[in-house]
Every structure is written in C-alpha cells, then in structure tokens.
Amino acid sequence: MNALATIHVAKKQLGLDDDTYRALLKRVTGKTSAGVMSDSERVRVVEALRQRGFNPAKRGLEGPFARKIVALWIAAWNLGVVPDRADAALAGFVRRQTDIDHTRWLVEAAQADKVIQALKARMARDAGVDWHVGPDTPGWARNPKAKVAVAQWRIVHPSTGSGGIDFAAFKAFVEGHAFNPLPRIKPREWDGITKRLGVEVRRVKALGNAAAVHRAARG
C-alpha cells in the first residue's frame, strides 16, 4: 500500500470527518488534498495520523526502493554478513541508518541510497564482494548477483593464491544449477545459485565460530 492509499485507510479507520481531515492535512503540509502532495509530504501526514492513533496493518516491506534493499539484505544474509534475514532485522538496520521506522516510508532517493551503500560497504568489508566494474570485466560478472556468488565461492572454497578462485570449478557449479551457460545466466538463476551457496557459507561460518569458541575454551 502506498502512502496515498494509507492516508485514506487511516481517515476511515480514525473516523475523521472531511473538515477535520482537511484541517489536519493543511496543518501538516499547508495543502488540503493528499492527491497534490509530494511523497515526502504524504509520509509526514501518515506519521501525523499514526500519532492520532492510526494503526496500519503490518505487511511486508514496501516502498519504491524496498525491492532493491530487500535483495541486498538477503544477499548479505547469504554471505553470512547479517545473522537474520527477517524483515524486522532489516527494518532495524534501516532505522539505524536513516531514523526512519520502516522501509515502506523510505521514499527519498538520498535516504534509500544511504541504506544501499551501507549494505554494499558491509558486504565488501566483511565478505570480500568486489563491486568494481572495469572495461575488462566480463559481461556475466557485471551482474551484482554474480559478484555475490563469486564472493560466496571464495568463502566456501578459499584459494591459496592471491585471492582468485578456481574458475573452472566455479563455472561448473554455476552451470550445474542454471539453465544457461555462464555468459547468459539470467538474474533469477543467480538468485537460486546464491541461495544454494548461502547454505554452504552459513555452514562454513558456523563451523568456524564453533572452532573459535573451542579454542577460547581451551585457553
């Protein structure tokens, strides 16, 4: 549900008559019609309605930037960077970055970009995702989901070299879980690949954490 629809639901839920409703709109934004407001003005109206007792039904994450942010959050989970893939955990991350309670109210591009860049930086720092795209980067490797898969592969199959991977083994794994050869793999296929590798990443990290606890216990 977008902010405009939410305003109309709130008006009905709170039983506001037309005069009271328009007086609230004017007080909050200087306008008497939600239909002519900007997205940020509508968000302010929703917050004012919540202060009056509006209780929106809890739904999945929404908003113009939610899909990309959710995809990055799940990628971070599949890299073992965040411990919880739940919407509530993501909402907490968004709140810490922007002071906004929920991604459904995240309507400003600058605020959304702050969340996106923070997630990408964390994945680069904690899981080695290389987001760089240069003139020599192969076409398949320009896909952000492919970059996540490469980083996952490094975690599950650490190289003894200078940070590279056994490309033949990686290619065989990827093509074994896709319908197309590597250069033509579609985004949805990368979703399945990163999900499968995510299971292995979490297993490897859990074993590593258990070993660290054991070493600490032995002193």
How far apart are the C-alpha atoms of 121 and 142, rounded to whole Å? Answer: 17
**Is the separation of the CB atoms in 4 and 107 below 8 Å?**
no
According to the model, what pLDDT value does residue 59 have?
A: 55
Of the candidates 5, 88, 3, 86, the residue with the CA atom closest to the CA atom of residue 46? 3
How far apart are the C-alpha atoms of 125 and 132, rounded to whole Å? Answer: 13
Q: 6-25 pLDDT, tens per residue?
A: 888 888 888 888 998 999 99
Q: 73-105 pLDDT, tens per residue?
A: 999 999 999 988 888 888 889 888 888 776 666
According to the model, what pLDDT value does residue 104 have?
A: 64
Residues of the chain with pLDDT under 50: 162, 213-214
The pair phi, psi for residue 180, each rounded to 5°, is -125, 155
According to the model, what pLDDT value does residue 214 have?
A: 47
Of the candidates 73, 70, 95, 100, the residue with the CA atom closest to the CA atom of residue 84? 73
According to the model, what pLDDT value does residue 91 have?
A: 84
According to the model, what pLDDT value does residue 27 have?
A: 93
According to the model, what pLDDT value does residue 155 have?
A: 93
